[in-house]
Structure 1
Amino acid sequence: MTATTIQTTIQTTMRTPQTLGLIEVPDAVRDAIGRDLAAEPDPTLDIDRAMARYHQIFAGLPLELLQRILDFGRHNDAPGVGYVRNLPVDAELPATPGDGGPAPDKKTFVAEGVLLGLSGLLGEPVGFLTEKNGQLIHDVIPVPGGAMTQTNQGSTVFLNFHNDIVHDAIGRYDVSNPDFLVLSCLRADHEGIAATHYADARDIVRALDSRTLELLRSPLFRLNAPGSYVRDVAGGREVLSDPVAMINGPEEYPEISSSANGVRAMTTAAEAALDRLQAACRETAHEVHLRPGEALLINNRKGLHARTPFTARYDGNDRWLQRTYVRRSQWTIRYRQTADNRRVHH
């Protein structure tokens, strides 16, 4: 059986960003939050203190906007993706790191404060040693050696519809994975064509026939471990999960799991169902071109996200996003906690 991948182009008409959970920060609020964040030190020096301070700062959001972000994180029927615009940015930004980050010469930490402030309204940022060495802030940057890979270092290939999963020795990669991702833009790609897509599981399920849905709800699939784990730990070999269903949960609130690095269907019928799932993702996906001062709040269980190809020049002005993994609770993954950092896991 062969791994099935998404087409490298999407030819369907996407929904406009207005159909997403759009949150626009007023100019005066943006400027006030930006001034406070610019005065804060590197948050990685004392992350717990920093998260407490960011709670204080983001409490300055208008009540309606603050509640909308909080509701996004706590209600089952909330949208699967939120689009936050007009956020503060650093007055001066260094060159995009050529090695995937972090930038050693960043003078202010407004972008990091935006990222962590939004993350703190959804849960708690966590790290995994097999993803960016356990860092809580992930710099998502094209790297020459990773241009063709299904990882955050890629650029020239379509990054398949997926959710961010975590390799786990228990054989399930959909247990320890983040509940949410926050993606914040520091710098767009040169041509401004890189787009993030999000396909909500509720829309996907509605687009599927009953037989396909039955197959996708059956343990007929094995997820390959994330590309970073395969590259850095497994020496390039596949590390497949136990057989799992790709869609779980009640009909009105489904959860979906898929690996960007490949899914192995265990039967011919399951392979056909996987093809149909991928088509449904293309048919139902939202599209957003992130710009500086914009962020996406992504529910990592309610849907799958993807990224279109773009041209990286490796000239210090390439696309630069920052990302967090967010968990509502770390209690259920306490068996993975490292001895020296309560937020970082094996």
Structure 2
Amino acid sequence: MTATTDHGVPATATAPRTVATFAEIALPDAVRDALSEQLAALPDPNIDIDRSTARLLQIFATLPTDIFQQVLDFGRHVDTPGVALVSNLPVDAELPGTPTDGGPSTDKTSFVAEGVLLGLSGLLGEPMGVLTEKAGQLIHDVVPVPGGSKTQTNQGSEVFLNFHSDIMHDVIGRYDVANPDFLVLSCLRADHDGVAGTFYADARDISAALPPTVLETLRSPLFRLNAPGSYVRDVADGQEVLSDPVPMISGHTAYPEIAISANGVHPLTSGAREALDILQEVCREVAHSVHLRPGQALLINNRKGVHARSTFTARYDGQDRWLQRTYVRRSLWNVRYRVTDDNRRVHY
């Protein structure tokens, strides 16, 4: 993983120390092999997700203490990096073809990748599902889909997926409250040409790079987030559904939070529009970038920063790029108003 810049926290902040905004974690071969042996013996975790995640916590608790703590600290402290690349993870011995309909695959007979994804997720919090994103599945297959190739969604490939947070429509008018605290992205198969890049821009780096007047505008409630593309497509008949006015950047100066919707942001003034354009430019300037390969996973803090994806060529031949993703909350308690009647991990 390489960074284009590392600004640290703003000079005017009162942070106790300068922090790195990305991290790299590599498992030793012996640790990878020990995990692989245990994960290969597990059944499909979707059969009994609570039991599976309990067993996976036991397995991942056998990681070396330094690595175990680094992942735990990623999820629990305000001053830790916003993104971490975990490498040399176990992989499935064989993979079926990449799904072409958005997944999940019905041909997958081993579940090592799912175990890796849920095991890492469990160290950060609780995996959650959302009915309007992958039909409430806890494990999302992120693959190119022919009909979505030019959309600002995870089905896309032909257009740059703009810097964004993963958000969700909410009748309370705020799309940045019940959204995931973290995402975990695990690579099962790279794209044909190996060029698909995932980018992460940390709000600390962004704030440090912005002119003070622009930052002040972005911290003002002058923006309305559009609902995610999946909600607009599947629920709203293609019509825009906007949030209440919110700021783009909020929170403590040293430890800011950022929220941008991939499907569009509506600035309420000309100054807000200009600030939004500058924000996207600065995101590109400060972003960390990585080209995910099998055996690698990204831990992404969905509040500390925003992420993006480059274009790549999809062939829809069963060998396209295939990631798996989880949405993770530190706790499901404060989104209990959204829980569905038939599944306590799946929300409206």
Q: TM-score range by the shorter chain?
A: over 0.9
Shift of 1:111: 0.1
Identity of aligned residues (%): 72
1:45 matched to 2:35 = no
Task: For 1:55-70, list aligned pairs within 5 A.
Answer: 55-70=57-72
Q: What residue in structure 2 maps to residue 5 of structure 1? A: none
| Corresponding residue to 2:185 among 183, 186, 194 | 183
Does the 8 Å CA contact 2:187/2:297 hold for their aligned counterparts?
A: yes
1:100 matched to 2:90 = no
Q: What residue in structure 2 maps to residue 150 of structure 1? A: 152
1:304 matched to 2:306 = yes
Q: What residue in structure 2 maps to residue 14 of structure 1? A: 4
Q: What residue in structure 1 maps to residue 134 of structure 2? A: 132
Shift of 1:173: 0.1
- Equivalent-residue separation in structure 2 for 1:328 and 1:142 (angstroms): 29
AA of the residue aligned to 1:173:
Y
Task: Kindly provide the CA deviation profile for residues 1-48 of structure 1, in whole angstroms up to 9, marking residues without a partner as x.
Answer: xxxxxxxxxxxx8359x9731000000110110110010000000000
Shift of 1:276: 1.0
Q: 1:75 to 1:46 in 2, by over 3 A?
A: same
| Corresponding residue to 2:279 among 274, 277, 280 | 277
- Equivalent-residue separation in structure 1 for 2:105 and 2:79 (angstroms): 38
AA of the residue aligned to 1:167:
H
- Equivalent-residue separation in structure 1 for 2:156 and 2:210 (angstroms): 30
Q: What residue in structure 2 maps to residue 198 of structure 1? A: 200
Does the 8 Å CA contact 1:184/1:323 hold for their aligned counterparts?
A: yes
Consecutive aligned runs of 4 or more in structure 1 exceeding 2 Å deviation? 13-16
- Equivalent-residue separation in structure 1 for 2:161 and 2:215 (angstroms): 24
1:342 matched to 2:344 = yes
| Corresponding residue to 2:83 among 59, 81, 87 | 81
Does the 8 Å CA contact 2:138/2:327 hold for their aligned counterparts?
A: yes
Does the 8 Å CA contact 1:15/1:287 hold for their aligned counterparts?
A: no
Which structure 1 segments of 5+ residues have no match? 1-12
Does the 8 Å CA contact 2:21/2:80 hold for their aligned counterparts?
A: no
Which structure 2 segments of 5+ residues have no match? 7-19
Q: What residue in structure 1 maps to residue 116 of structure 2? A: 114
Secondary structure of 1:72 counterpart: helix
- Equivalent-residue separation in structure 2 for 1:215 and 1:199 (angstroms): 19
Secondary structure of 1:30 counterpart: helix
Q: What residue in structure 2 maps to residue 8 of structure 1? A: none
Task: Kindly provide the CA deviation profile for residues 168-214 of structure 1, in whole angstroms up to 9, marking residues without a partner as x.
Answer: 01110000000000000000000000000000000000001111111
Aligned residues between the structures: 333
- Equivalent-residue separation in structure 1 for 2:308 and 2:25 (angstroms): 21
Does the 8 Å CA contact 2:21/2:81 hold for their aligned counterparts?
A: no
Q: What residue in structure 1 maps to residue 17 of structure 2? A: none
Does the 8 Å CA contact 1:157/1:309 hold for their aligned counterparts?
A: yes
- Equivalent-residue separation in structure 2 for 1:280 and 1:33 (angstroms): 40
| Corresponding residue to 1:161 among 115, 139, 163 | 163
Does the 8 Å CA contact 2:258/2:305 hold for their aligned counterparts?
A: yes
Q: What residue in structure 2 maps to residue 7 of structure 1? A: none
Does the 8 Å CA contact 2:190/2:322 hold for their aligned counterparts?
A: yes
Q: What residue in structure 1 maps to residue 290 of structure 2? A: 288
- Equivalent-residue separation in structure 1 for 2:140 and 2:312 (angstroms): 20
Shift of 1:342: 0.5
AA of the residue aligned to 1:63:
T
Shift of 1:267: 0.3
Task: For 1:221-240, list aligned pairs within 5 A.
Answer: 221-240=223-242
Secondary structure of 2:50 counterpart: helix
Secondary structure of 1:324 counterpart: strand
- Please, what TM-score do these two structures have when normalized by structure 2? 0.94
Q: What residue in structure 2 maps to residue 247 of structure 1? A: 249
Shift of 1:328: 0.2
- Equivalent-residue separation in structure 1 for 2:202 and 2:173 (angstroms): 25
